[in-house]
């Protein structure tokens, strides 16, 4: 069993909340069950260095007497059992039928708390997370459900594109550069992300979509640079597909004009 810590705000003050990861199980009393769980609408949770993130966990619950609600909810990294997401204990349940309700709990992640939430490099908490919940029915039935959903909590990425020169004749070569960086939750700054494959994409002037021209690997400090031959005016951008722990990111396009 591994301890997990997370900061929470209670009564206007900051309090340290300690939770424990228990062995996987699903037990309780009666016929109440969790039949579906959706986290953040099915999307990843992307966390940067400053903005507080709030995201929903929607749990569909069924019991022959009807659903009373959630009595416990936790979410944490599947591998190391650490978390920095907090739940204030409130939830809202929407009745879908006499036996089924969808209960929503809102989770909060404040980047200013992350570094103090554990005793490891907090960046290692990025990745695949799981959800546990205890649910209760109107007739007193309850069910303790571990591992009812998985989702990804990722470090936010930043990506830039610069064309030099910004005007050139057909057949000339121009340099497309940029930088890929990602949030470091320990110091709340963005650092270059090296050794990552990033796609260089081009959209011809008047076209509707970008097309991939080549793939470039980031160097020291996440820097990108390559040369391309000018065939027409248009916009160039970098596209990073993301990883299990780092978000997808598309840079703002930079325009190349013909002389």
- pLDDT value for 3: 35
Alpha helices in the chain, H assignment, sequence order = 111-114
pLDDT at 193 over 70: yes
The residue ranking higher by pLDDT, 29 or 15, is 29
Interval 88-133: pLDDT, tens: 999 999 999 999 999 999 999 999 999 999 899 999 999 999 999 9
- pLDDT value for 26: 64
Interval 133-157: pLDDT, tens: 999 999 999 999 999 999 999 999 9
In degrees and rounded to multiples of 5, residue 122 shows phi and psi of -65, -20
Interval 212-257: pLDDT, tens: 999 999 999 999 999 999 999 999 999 999 999 999 999 999 999 9
* CA neighbor of 199 nearest in space, from 173, 218, 171: 218
* CA neighbor of 163 nearest in space, from 203, 116, 103: 203
pLDDT at 13 over 70: no
d(CA 69, CA 61): 8
- DSSP code of 246? B
Residue 27: how many CB atoms within 10 A of its CB? 9
CB-based contact 32:135 (threshold 8 Å): yes
Of the listed ranges 8-12, 146-150, 163-167, 184-188, the one predicted with least confidence = 8-12
* CA neighbor of 46 nearest in space, from 240, 253, 224: 240
d(CA 240, CA 179): 11
- Hey, which bits of 30-91 come out as E strands? 33-39, 45-47, 53-62, 67-77, 86-87
Residue 170: how many CB atoms within 10 A of its CB? 11
Interval 196-224: pLDDT, tens: 999 999 999 999 999 999 999 999 999 99
pTM score above 0.75: yes
**What integer best gives the mean pLDDT of the chain?**
91
pLDDT at 192 over 90: yes
CB-based contact 45:152 (threshold 8 Å): yes
pLDDT at 166 over 80: yes
* CA neighbor of 133 nearest in space, from 94, 91, 99: 91
pLDDT category of residue 27 using cuts at 50, 70 and 90: confident
All domains in the chain, ordered by first residue = 3-154 (2.70.50), 157-258 (2.60.40.10)
Interval 39-79: pLDDT, tens: 999 999 999 999 999 999 999 999 999 999 999 999 999 99
Cis-peptide into 34, omega within 30 deg: no
For strands 223-229 and 234-240, give the pairing.
unpaired
């Amino acid at each position: 069993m591994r301890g997990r810590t997370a900061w929470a705000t209670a009564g206007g003050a900051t309090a340290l909340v300690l939770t424990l990861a228990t062995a996987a199980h699903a037990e309780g009393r009666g016929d109440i069950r969790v039949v579906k769980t959706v986290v953040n609408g099915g999307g990843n949770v992307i966390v940067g260095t400053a903005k507080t993130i709030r995201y929903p966990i929607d749990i569909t619950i069924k019991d022959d007497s009807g659903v009373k609600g959630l009595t416990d909810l936790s979410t944490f990294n599947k591998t190391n059992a650490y978390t920095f997401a907090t739940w204030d204990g409130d939830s809202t349940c929407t009745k879908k039928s006499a036996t089924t309700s969808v209960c929503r709990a809102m989770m909060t992640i404040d980047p200013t708390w992350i570094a103090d939430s554990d005793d490891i490099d907090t960046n290692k908490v990025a990745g695949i997370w799981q959800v546990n919940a205890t649910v209760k029915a109107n007739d007193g039935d309850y069910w303790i459900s571990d591992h009812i959903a998985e989702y990804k909590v990722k470090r936010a990425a930043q990506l830039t594109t610069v064309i030099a020169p910004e005007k050139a004749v057909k057949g000339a070569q121009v340099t497309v550069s940029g930088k890929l960086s990602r949030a470091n939750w320990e110091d709340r700054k963005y650092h270059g992300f090296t050794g990552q494959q990033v796609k260089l994409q081009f959209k011809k002037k008047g076209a509707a979509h970008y097309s991939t021209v080549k793939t470039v690997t980031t160097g020291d400090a996440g820097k990108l640079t390559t040369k391309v031959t000018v065939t027409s005016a248009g916009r160039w951008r970098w596209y990073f597909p993301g990883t299990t722990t780092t978000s997808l990111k598309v840079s703002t396009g930079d325009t190349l004009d013909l002389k």
